[in-house]
Structure 1
C-alpha cells in the first residue's frame, strides 16, 4: 500500500514534536512520514492500519512506528457523529531518526538505538513496565521545551532500546508514493470503511477508483499485496471482534449480519481463519 506523504507540522527550528491533542476523531488519512512516532491513545477506539496489519485499537494503547511506515487510526462510527461529548485523545511524540545529527548515530553508544529504529520499521506495540514509564515521559515532554525535551526523548529511546516489552505489528514496509496513487487508494479505503456493512461489488469499488474491474483488481493487488475481497473481509472481521469485546450480550448471529456477512457459515469460517478462534471462543476469552 502506498499512502500519502504527511508533513509533520513541527516548528522549523525544532527537530522533534510532542503534542497532546483532543479531536472529534483521528481522521481517515492513510499516510506516512520520515519521523518516528510514539503514539499513546488516551481515549478512543476503532480500527488501526499499520503497514499490512489491520487490528482493533483501544484506550491505553502505545505504539512506536518507524520512519515511513504507513498508518491510520480509524475511530468507530460514533466519533464521526459530531457529538461534542464523544472525542478522541492522544499524545504523540515525533522525531527524525537523526534528530541529534548523523554524527550521533555513528557513535558506538548509538548501536542500540539503531537496532531499535530497525525494529520500529515493522511497528511495535509497547506493553508492561516500559509502557508505564514512557507514558509518564510523554506527558512531561508535551510541556517541556528546548534541551529538556531532547533529553526526555533520549530517555524514551534508552528505555525502549533496553526493553523486551514490545510486540511486532506488521511486515517491515516503507513507501514513497505519488499524490495520484495516494488519493486513489485513500478513496478506496474511505469508501470501504464507510460501506463495509453492505454488499460491495467489484464494479462499484472499481468505479470509486476510476478504473475498470480488471485494472482495479490488478492495481489493488499490486499496491496492497492482497485482493480487495481479502481486505474487505479483514475489515468486517475486525469490526466483529470489536463488537464481541464491547458487548458480551450480543450474539454471533447478530454480529454476522451487522458486519456485512450474508450467512453464518461464511462469517464463522472467515472469523476462525483470521483469529484462530470461533466467535464464541473469542467472546469467552475477552470476557474471562
Structure 2
C-alpha cells in the first residue's frame, strides 16, 4: 500500500555546483574488451556526464528522474537504457539526506571501434548495428525486453572470459530484437553534441543548482552567478548543452517528481505540489496539466498502465 510521507525528498547528489567539465574518461582494463561496473547512489559516477562509448545501463533499485539528452523521464527498479556516444545522461534517485542506495547501477560500456572490428570478423554480430545507431537518440526498453536484458546484464557482471562475451552478445541480440512496443526513443533525431567545456560546466552547474533548490525558489540569476557567467551567457550555454531552457528543465523535474509522489503516496495533492516547489495549488495544477495533459488528481486516479509517459519539451 502507498504510504503518506511526512517529508517528500528528491535527489541529493554528491557533487559541487562548480565541478567543471563533465566529459567522462573511461579507463580501459587490460585483458577486457568491454567495461562492466556497478556502483552505489550517490557516487562519483552519479552525475550529469557524457563519453564516447556506448552505454547499457540497468537500475537495480530505487526510483527517480533521468535526464537523457533533452528528455526528462521517470525510472524505477528494472529500468534499462541504451545510450549512444556523446549523449549526456544522468539518473537522479529519491533519497533522504545521508541515504545510500547500494549497488543501484549496473553499467556496460564499449566503443565504436571495437564493435566495428567485431562485425568485420563476425558478420553475425551486424544485427546489432541498427539499434546501436538509433541509440544516439537514447533508448529506454520496457516489458519483456527489459526483463531479458536485465538478466543478461547481471550475467555479464557475474561471468568472465568467453562466458562474459557470450552474455554480452546475447544482450545485444535481445535489444536488437525488441518489438516496437518495448522501445521508447527519447531525444530529437540529432541531439547536438556538447561543443565546449564551458557548455558542459554551465549545464552541470545549472542542473546541480536545480536539484538542490527546486522545491524552493529557483533563480536563473543565482545559477548564473554560481557558474560565474552573466545570465544571457549562462542561458545560452545551458540550452545548448542540455537541450532545455533553464525554466523548462525546472518544470520538467518538478512535475516528474510530482508524478512519482502521486503514484506512490497518499499525500494530498496540495502537499505534493508544495513539496516539488509549487506553493500555489492552482499554479501546480496548471503546470502539471501543461506537461502531462491532465490534472494531478486525474493522473492519480488512472491505473498505472494507463498513466501517460512524460513528453519531452521541445
1:94 matched to 2:127: no
Q: Which range moved further: 256-265 or 14-23?
A: 14-23
* Aligned mates of 2:33, 2:201 — CA distance in 1: 28
Equivalent residue number for residue 150 of structure 2: 135
CA drift at 1:51:
0.6
Query: What is the aligned length?
Result: 283
1:122 aligns with 2:140: no
Distance 1:41 1:219 in 2: 30
Unaligned runs of 5+ in 2: 1-19, 306-314
Aligned to 1:5: 23
Residue 205 of structure 2 contacts residue 223 of structure 2 at CA under 8 Å; is this kept in 1? no
- 1:201 aligned onto 2:219: yes
Per-residue CA distance 1:180-238 (angstroms, 9 max, x = gap): 43223211110111001111223222211212223333333344343211121112111
Of 253, 270, 274, 1:253 maps to: 270
Return the match for 1:279 from 283, 296, 299: 296
1:243 pairs, out of 261, 264, 269, with 261
User: Is 1:67–1:174's contact at 8 Å kept on the other side of the alignment?
Assistant: no
Native 8 Å contact 1:122 1:173 kept in 2: yes
Output the CA distance in 2 between the equivalents of 1:157 and 1:82. 37
What is the aligned-residue RMSD (CA, Å)?
2.6
Give the 5 Å matches for 1:1-288: 4-24=22-42, 28-78=46-96, 81-83=97-99, 86-87=101-102, 89-102=104-117, 104-105=119-120, 109-164=124-179, 165-171=182-188, 172-173=190-191, 175-247=193-265, 249-286=266-303
Between 147-156 and 22-31, report the one with greater CA deviation: 22-31
Distance 1:65 1:219 in 2: 22
Using the size of structure 1 for normalisation, the TM-score is: 0.87
- Alignment TM-score, normalising by the size of structure 2: 0.81
Distance 1:25 1:44 in 2: 14
Once structures 1 and 2 are overlaid, which stretch shifts more, 10-19 or 120-129? 10-19
* Secondary structure, aligned partner of 1:90: strand
CA offsets 1:73-113 (integer angstroms, 9 cap, x no match): 112232xx2246x5352222222233244362597645432
| Structure 1 gaps, min length 5 | none
- CA displacement 1:110-155 (0-9 Å, x = unmatched): 5432111112111112122222222222212112222222222111
Once the two structures are TM-superposed, the CA of residue 72 in structure 1 deviates from its matched residue by: 0.5
C-alpha contact (below 8 Å) 1:35/1:68 kept by paired residues: yes
